[in-house]
Structure 1
Amino acid sequence: MYYNYPGLQHTDVRQQDDHTVRNRLIVTGEGSVSAVPDQALLTIGVITENQNLSTAQKENADKTASVIQSLLSLGIPQSDIQTSSYRIEPQYNYENGQQIFRGYRVEHQLQVTVKNIRQTGQAIDQAVANGANSVSSIQFTVSSPDAFYNGALALAIQNAQQKAVTMARTLGVTLQPVPVEVQETSQQLPPRPIPFQAVMYAQSAETPIQPGENKITASVKIQYTYS
């Protein structure tokens, strides 16, 4: 609802609002920090084949139990060892265009979290020595990414502020130091794991594993006013 009063200049108010809106300086900023991973996620599997399904399952179960026990002996808690997949598939050979049944393949994949990252190679070797015959992936992650992300976010804001100051100085205008809007444009997700792919891992004296570094990035969009 609008009211008209004598002497009130509505056009001046609109012009002032338009002027304020025009005097906006919008900048984006990005910041990143490097974090050394402190834990590893292993996918370790036991694959067995036999013409008899029950035999293939029992052999797989026995080997998987042995693998789990070997990991527990390293001090890895039961809660950090979980089944990620369990599959039973019939296997066939093809001869002269005909499908010939060969047997059953049973695959049990475990996801193992190694919180003492220095034990990664030892955990792999122990698992392989006790029946594991597949290591499908190794990923290195940071267990507490929030602190690193907040550091990256602070750098992103500083980066945006520096851009705003530079632009205002170049334009010859006075920048208001307090922004009118700050928007976090990055999604606070766990840092992308560093992959280390390996299939049918071979046993060694001790498998050398290099965790590398995670890069955690944040970005912001900030609006300032100037005069």
Structure 2
Amino acid sequence: MRAYNSLILPLFMAFAAPSAAQTPPAQITITGIGEIAAAPDMATVTLGVTTTAKTARAAMADNASQLIEVLTTLKSAGVAPRDLQTSGLSLQPNWTNNPNGDANSIDGYTAVNQLSVRVRDLAALGATLDAAIGEGANTLNGIEFGMSAPAPLLDSARKAAVFDARHRAEILAIAAGVTLGPVLLISEASGYDPQPKFVRAAMASVPVEGGEISVSASVTITWQLLAPN
């Protein structure tokens, strides 16, 4: 009988131990948001030249000649070659509807050449645009402000997100009568996505306003919760 009891006890302990080990510690998971605003130090402008002519060759030749003048002007204004990039090039026929019921016919061609231009001297942005338009740029499709070195701004946003998450976690822990323990997990969902904040000043001849941009970061942190002593 003693041998039987001595066998039962270890078996019971072997089955009981895993259930106790599977009990997870109390945890809290909070997502913090950090946002940092700063004045931009560069702008990316999309501009270009659109020309029309009776033949495709003439439309492209006129476009090329006009665009060369625009490029020369931009480089003279201080835009580096590495900051000039062709972003779109197209040649399309212009169709005319014939009122007598005949098939539509081609009545000339339209050539479009677009440039993506990074302007690093914001004080000269308005004057640069004015000069490009004066030399033949006849399409302007938008301006996007940004930072030439966004990493420090994004790092500040990350720190702010961590502080925000911890602040909120501490408030909830105190209200629940517990304290924060060690950090169990940190994950980040962030990226450099500058958003305009507000307008500050106009620049030079073409009215262009830089304002401020904001960079945000999102950090999710999980802490272990400790019961009060």
Distance of 1:61 and 1:180 partners within structure 2: 61
Q: Does 1:45 align with 2:48?
A: yes
Query: Which aligned pairs between 1:99-178 and structure 2 lie closer than 5 A?
Result: 99-176=104-181, 178=182
Residue in 2 aligned with 1:220?
Answer: 219
Q: Which runs of 5+ in 1 are unaligned?
A: 195-204
Count of aligned residue pairs for this structure pair: 209
Q: How many Å apart are 1:17 and its aligned residue?
A: 3.9
Q: Which has the larger Rg?
A: 2
Matched, 1:87 2:86: no
In structure 2, the partner of 1:77 is: 80
Q: Deviations over 1:55-86 (max 9, x none)?
A: 21111111100000000111111111111111
C-alpha displacement of 1:15: 2.0
1:183 aligns with 2:182: no
CA offset at residue 9 of structure 1?
5.0
Identity across aligned pairs (percent)?
28
Shift of 1:16: 4.4
Aligned match of 2:4: none
The answer (yes or no) to whether the contact 2:170–2:179 under 8 Å persists in 1 is no
SS in 1 for 2:129: helix
Q: RMSD between aligned alpha carbons?
A: 2.1
Residues 182-225 of structure 1 deviation map (CA, whole Å, 9 limit, x = unaligned): 111x132x22465xxxxxxxxxx810110121111111111111
Change (3 A) 1:87 1:6: same
Q: What does the per-residue CA deviation read over 1:117-153, in whole Å, with 9 as the maximum and x for residues that have no partner?
A: 1221111111110011111111111111111111111
Q: Which moved more, 1:42-51 or 1:92-101?
A: 92-101
Q: Which amino acid aligns with 1:14?
A: S
Report the AA paired with residue 183 of structure 1.
S
Q: Give me the TM-score of the superposition, normalised by structure 1.
A: 0.85
